[in-house]
Structure 1
Amino acid sequence: MPDTPKPDDELAGTEQPFVSHLIELRDRLVRAFIAIGLAFGVLAVFPGPAALYDLLAAPLVAHLPAGSTLIATNVISPFLVPLKITLLAGFFVALPYVLYQVWAFVAPGLYSHEKKLVLPLVISSTLLFFVGVAFCYFFVFGKVFTFIQSFAPKSITAAPDIEAYLSFVMSMFIAFGAAFEVPVVVVVLARMGLVTVAKLREFRGYFIVVAFIIAAVITPPDVVSQLALAIPMCLLYEVGVFAAGYFIRYSKAPEEEPQRPAP
């Protein structure tokens, strides 16, 4: 005999055929791609791919010697690179809606206490990623380019290639955006029971070493960018440890009531 669902099971009777899940997944993916396409179309009209590239290149151009500019070594680079940046910007603009589609797809299969954890994590992970990218653009780029130019010999005229600069920017954005997700990772690990909050506190010293190793590997070989990545990771780890204890209590499953004996 198959097990019958408990009367108080929130998900009882909500099961759907596998094909229905595939159809819903397809529909939500289509909506996400449409949102990205609409954001791309709007940004392509205003401010336009060229203006977006100028905005992205502004931190580097501000630190180049007078008269120096970025160059394009590929024939189609002046067209293709701004287009890629516009698509990237469109994805960033549509990211909250894309994550909402992810949340709407998985939410029906979650209990209420699980939803209390997932929805805040989706929102916080989005905000933290944007904060990491903004921190990289407004603070790190200026410090890194100043540091690099201070070591450049006077006989060298800096003229970076636009494709190389795009690759550099993308890697830095991903590195800092992912690094700022440390609190989310810590909370998820603790909530899943893979590690306790006490163990996370004990691991603090090891994480500092790990953070500096990660910063040395994924950032350019200069002390400014490495410190700019490692120090926020260490601070965010402390935030994650603090938030883990709160989220564990907040998203705890309700205890089952004891069965009353039959009269």
Structure 2
Amino acid sequence: MPLDQEESGEKEMSFLEHLEELRWHVVRALVAVIVFTIAAFIMAPWVFENIIFAPARVDFPTFKWICKLGNLIGSDALCVQEIPFKVQSRNMTGQFTMHIMSSFILGLVIAFPYVVWEFWRFIKPGLQVNERKYSRGAVGSISFLFFSGVAFGYYIIAPWMIYFLANYSISDMIVNEFDITSYVSTVVMLVLGSGLLFQLPVVIYFLTKIGIVTPEFLRKYRKHSFVIILVVAAIVTPPDLLSQMLITIPLYLLFEISVIISASVAKRKAREEAEELLKEQNISPS
């Protein structure tokens, strides 16, 4: 039995016991998601009116904040007066499918901290004592970054994307009438995608911990990373400069934060390795 497990009072488990343990963590996480999914499914009229379709209305908080900013500088040009489009359901199962999909995504978003906590409970016993020490607050950090990304996608990216596409027209003969499947899928992709993209610092942290990524590597390919971020922004946003910059700037800031985190992790690893080497040589570290 490893020393760290002895110190923590945990017994060594077989491979099948690990699988059984993982199964129950997954089951509990799924139960939490299902419970919130059912709640969202029951509250469908309120959810669609106040959450899903809210970014498509001129009274959405983002548009109101921008309008107030315009009024402060003496301009009404920033006030959104109309978002000209209608939502239709052209497939027989369109509304029902989107009802289930939106309920599940909302359930997943709400249950996200608990899901992360369950998986963290499975991973934590396998960590060494010093790794547990430096990983305190992991669930809170992951959840904070996820909800920050979700809020950014919902309040910044989604409303401006909807406004741009609703007003985009190549001919007066064409009327924008979006299918509900297209509308909901696009909004979900932006919001959930932003939440996942904001996990970049966490990903870099663990990649640095296992030695796949180094701060030198990140600094060396900083320009390449910026190009990749631009490509990602171009894929997940409408083809206008404002929307692309809205997601490029925070993603690049997250990358720079990731470089700092990677450097901190690398320095800590080097110090621990030096201390371990000194212990092996029976020399007390200074």
Tell me if both proteins adopt one fold, taking TM over 0.5 as the criterion. yes
1:96 to 94, 108, 113: 113
- Structure 1 segments unaligned to the other structure (5+ residues): none
Equivalent positions of 1:9-88 (< 5 A) are 9-12=3-6, 14-45=11-42, 48-54=43-49, 55-62=51-58, 64-65=83-84, 68-88=85-105
1:108 equivalent to 2:103? Answer: no
**Count of residue correspondences:** 251
- Tell me the TM-score normalised to structure 1 length: 0.83
Instruction: State the distance in 2 between where 1:79 and 1:114 align.
Output: 46
Which letter maps to 1:199? F
Give me the identity figure in percent: 30
Instruction: State the distance in 2 between where 1:147 and 1:69 align.
Output: 14
**CA drift at 1:60:** 2.3
* Deviation by residue 1:148-207 (Cα, 9 ceiling, x = unmatched): 344324443222111111221222224322321222222223332233323322322221
Instruction: State the distance in 1 between where 2:255 and 2:210 align.
Output: 17
Instruction: State the distance in 1 between where 2:236 and 2:55 align.
Output: 20
Equivalent positions of 1:160-239 (< 5 A) are 160-239=178-257
Instruction: State the distance in 1 between where 2:212 and 2:156 align.
Output: 35
Instruction: State the distance in 1 between where 2:240 and 2:231 align.
Output: 13
Which letter maps to 2:228? V
SS at the partner of 1:160? strand
Q: CA 1:234 to 1:215, structure 2 compared with 1: closer, same or farther past 3 Å?
A: same
Q: CA 1:170 to 1:156, structure 2 compared with 1: closer, same or farther past 3 Å?
A: same
Instruction: State the distance in 2 between where 1:187 and 1:94 align.
Output: 23
SS at the partner of 1:11? helix
> Contact 1:197 / 1:241 at 8 angstroms: preserved in 2?
yes
Q: Supply the RMSD in Å over aligned alpha carbons.
A: 2.6
SS at the partner of 2:174? coil
SS at the partner of 2:92? coil
- Structure 2 segments unaligned to the other structure (5+ residues): 59-81
- Tell me the TM-score normalised to structure 2 length: 0.77
The corresponding residue for 2:79 is none
Instruction: State the distance in 2 between where 1:44 and 1:135 align.
Output: 24
Instruction: State the distance in 1 between where 2:262 and 2:228 align.
Output: 20
**CA drift at 1:249:** 4.7
**CA drift at 1:212:** 0.8
SS at the partner of 2:22? helix
* Deviation by residue 1:99-133 (Cα, 9 ceiling, x = unmatched): 11101111111112222344444432222122112
The corresponding residue for 1:132 is 149
